[in-house]
Amino acid sequence: MVPIITDYHAVRRLADDIRANVSKVMVGKEQLIDRLFIAMVTSGHVLLEDVPGTGKTLLAKSISKSIDCTFKRVQFTPDLLPSDLSGIYFYNQQSSAFQFRPGPLFTNILLADEINRATPRTQSSLLECMEERQISIDGVTHQLEEPFLVIATQNPLEQQGTFPLPEAQLDRFLFKLNMGYPTSQESVDILKRFKDNQPLESLAAIAASESIVQARQIVNKVHVSDEMLAYIVSLAEHSRRDEAVASGVSPRGCQALLKAVQVQAVLQGREFVTPDDVKELAVPAWAHRLKLRGTLQSRGGAAASEEVIERLLQQVSVPTEEGISS
């Protein structure tokens, strides 16, 4: 296990250790691992959108084993009920009293596989736990464990029998990420690695779940100048005024990006945020929050939203170097 996290250097070492450990299983996904680390440290959640077989479940399991935390996977289907996630109170005849049986939401990392196949009612049951880290069942509030990370997946190709995620739920996800296909060399390395054994089975924990909570307290102190705050707000306001956008980045989106870039700065070896941190994470943090006008939403989809964010990054003035670290 890693030592107690007391400063920025320890947070960066923690991220390096987790990346190296997960890379014993995953090939060529270092950036993706870092962004999952950012999500966990910032109490965010991640939406993974990609075709089956690209390693989404394997990545989630590798992260959970590396941090020595609990992991549960739920296959979302149209008949999945909210109580199947949260748990139920049942009558225990031996004790002659009602007893709570917790559902899979009571974990550190929850893989919500093909989340868009569940009904809106079940999808909405995730909102409270994702935002508040608690679940209300029969009038009783239950606190969730820390850290708590939802990794939701959806297949962009198969849309029959699915229920698109509403904007309110999309806004709860810190990042929307894509696994992507490996390169030719990475594909060869994957075949070699998995030819004789399953590396996930021998993967050992190199950090305690408490380390993530400690890291969260450290990164909250990363310096963000007033100029950088104004830069983030300006980008969000431009998204709301863009001709192609019907609904721009919300204040929650601004807060999410702010927390993410604080961790990104630490991963880059800095104690203050720069415009490069914002440019690095603006697309995965904001593109899924945009609702485009008219046919752009259906025709362009995620690519069109990403283009809007990229255009805003080119249009909005960047803070001067003197005001970044002051």
Instruction: Name the 3-class secondary structure at 133.
Output: coil
Q: Tell whether 3 is covered by a domain.
A: no
Give the pLDDT confidence score for residue 120 in this predicted structure. Answer: 86
* pLDDT > 50? residue 2: no
Query: Distance between CA atoms of 85 and 121, rounded to whole angstroms?
Result: 12
**Confidence class of residue 296 from pLDDT cuts 50, 70 and 90?**
low
Mean pLDDT for 54-64 is: 89
In this prediction, residue 158 carries a pLDDT of: 66
Q: What is the DSSP string of 266-315?
A: HHTT-SB--HHHHHHHHHHHHGGG-EE-TTHHHHTHHHHHHHHHHHHHHH
Q: How many domains does the chain have?
A: 2
34 within some domain? yes
CATH number at 166 reads 3.40.50.300
Q: Is 227 found in the same domain as 203?
A: no
Of 291 and 279, the structure prediction assigns the larger pLDDT to 279
Q: Do 161 and 292 share a domain, yes or no?
A: no
Is residue 195 in a domain?
A: yes
Amino acid making up residue 319: P
Quick check: 127 pLDDT over 80? no
What is residue 295's predicted lDDT score, i.e. its pLDDT?
A: 63
Interatomic CA distance for residues 21 and 324, integer angstroms: 34
**Nearest to 300, CA basis, from 310, 291, 311, 313:** 291
At which of 216, 248, 270 does a domain end?
216
Q: Which tens digit of pLDDT belongs to each residue from 203-223? A: 999 999 899 999 999 999 999
User: In whole numbers, what is the pLDDT of the chain averaged over residues?
Assistant: 88
Reported as a pLDDT band with limits 50, 70 and 90, residue 301 is: low
Are residues 204 and 248 both part of a single domain?
no
pLDDT exceeds 90 at position 175 = yes
Same domain, yes or no, for 78 and 102? yes
Give Cα 64 to chain centroid, integer Å: 14
6 phi/psi in degrees, rounded to 5 = -120, -15
269 and 178, same structural domain? no
**For residue 214, what pLDDT is reported?**
93
DSSP-assigned letters across all residues of 85-124: HHEEEEEETTTTEEEEEE-TTSSSEEEEETGGGS-HHHHH
Residue 3's pLDDT band, with cuts at 50, 70 and 90, is: low
- Global pTM exceeds 0.85: yes
Do 35 and 172 fall into the same domain?
Answer: yes
Q: What backbone phi and psi angles, to 5 degrees, belong to 246?
A: -85, -35
Task: Identify the burial level of 1 via C-beta atoms within 10 angstroms of its C-beta, where 0-12 means exposed, 13-18 middle and 19 or more buried.
Answer: exposed
Instruction: Please compute the mean of the pLDDT values over residues 142-152 and round it to a whole number.
Output: 90
Residue 1 resides in a domain: no
When pLDDT is averaged across residues 273-279 and rounded to a whole number, the result is: 96
Residues 17-38, mean pLDDT to the nearest whole number? 94
User: Domain ends where: 185, 216, 247?
Assistant: 216
The reply to whether 57 and 138 lie within a common domain is yes
Q: Is residue 299 part of a domain?
A: yes
Domain that holds residue 160: 8-216
The Cα 244–Cα 230 span in angstroms is: 23
CATH of the domain at 278: 1.10.8.80
Task: Say which range, 91-95, 106-110, 204-208, 235-239, has the weakest mean pLDDT.
Answer: 91-95
